[in-house]
Amino acid sequence: MLKEIEDIKAKYPDTRAALLPALYIAQKEFGWLSLDAMKAVANALNLPESDVRGTASFYSMFRLKPAGRNLIQLCTNISCMILGAERLRDLLKDRYGLLPGGTTEDGRFSLVIMECIGACGTAPAMLVNTDLYENLTEHNIAEILGKYK
């Protein structure tokens, strides 16, 4: 992880600019940004820990609590909403016991409600980890999620 952060620093005129990339690296390594993970980033970039936490907490894609093995990011903004995204959100609650911001008991899925993932022409849409799924229906969503253990 430290080697990776060092490589990234070279891409910017100032060390601090490596903070977002470094947080991504730490999040990948630890699964989420624990206080220890953020401390490691702070040390690598010689920044105050408070500053790193303050920055990380601003961005919705940095996870400040443990996440499940698979992260569902479901869009519910207008184009997705009018084409049924709320029914999908309800389905995740009814079938998997999954609430926005929550994680299933078995740790298999976490759910985050997104503000537009740029798939409006193929709405409703979601990301599972980094895989994009479009034209979701109540039928195909279960099949898609079945691929993730």
Partner 1 sequence: MEKFLLRNTENPNSADIEEYIKTGGYKNISKAFELQPSDIIEEVKKSGLRGRGGAGFPTFMKWSFASADKKFPKYLICNADEGEPGTFKDRPILEKNPHLLIEGMIISGYALKAEYGYIYLRGEYPYAYDVMNQAVRDAYDKGYLGDNILGKNIKFNLVVHLGAGAYICGEETALLDSLEGRRGLPRNKPPFPVNAGAWGMPTIVNNVETLANIPHIIEIGADAYSKIGFPDCPGPKLYCVSGHVEKPGVFELPMGISLREIIYDYAGGTKNGKKLKAVFPGGISAPVLPADSIDCAMDFVSLPKAGSMLGSAAVMVMDETVCMVKIAHRAMKFFERESCGKCTPCREGTEWLRKILERIENGRGRNEDISLLTDISNNIFGKSFCALGDGAAGVMKSILKHFRAEFEEHIKEKRCRFKQKD
Interface contacts to partner 1, rule CB under 8 A: 11-14, 16-21, 23-24, 54-55, 58-62, 73, 76-79, 81-83, 114-123, 127, 130, 132
| Shortest Cβ 62–partner 1 spacing (Å) | 6
- The smaller minimum CB distance to partner 1, of residues 122 and 137, is found at 122
Looking at the DSSP assignment, which residues form a beta bridge with residue 133?
A: 126
Per-residue DSSP letters for 2-60?
HHHHHHHHTTSSSGGGGHHHHHHHHHHHHSS--HHHHHHHHHHHT--HHHHHHHHTT-T
Peptide bond into 21 cis (omega under 30): no
Closest CB 106 distance from partner 1, rounded Å: 25
- For partner 1, the closer of residues 91 and 120 by Cβ is 120
> Nearest 5°: phi and psi at 96?
-115, 0
User: Closest separation between CB of residue 118 and partner 1, Å?
Assistant: 4
Measured from the CB atom, the residue of 29 and 106 that comes closer to partner 1 is 29
CB of 25: closest distance to partner 1 in angstroms?
11
- Closer CB to partner 1, residue 24 or residue 108? 24
- Rank residues 106 and 147 by Cβ distance to partner 1 and give the closer one: 147
| Length of the chain, in residues | 149
- Give least dist CB 31 to partner 1, A: 16
- Cα distances from 50 to residues 39, 47, 88, 124, in angstroms, run 9, 8, 38, 38
Tally Cβ neighbours within 10 Å of residue 100.
14
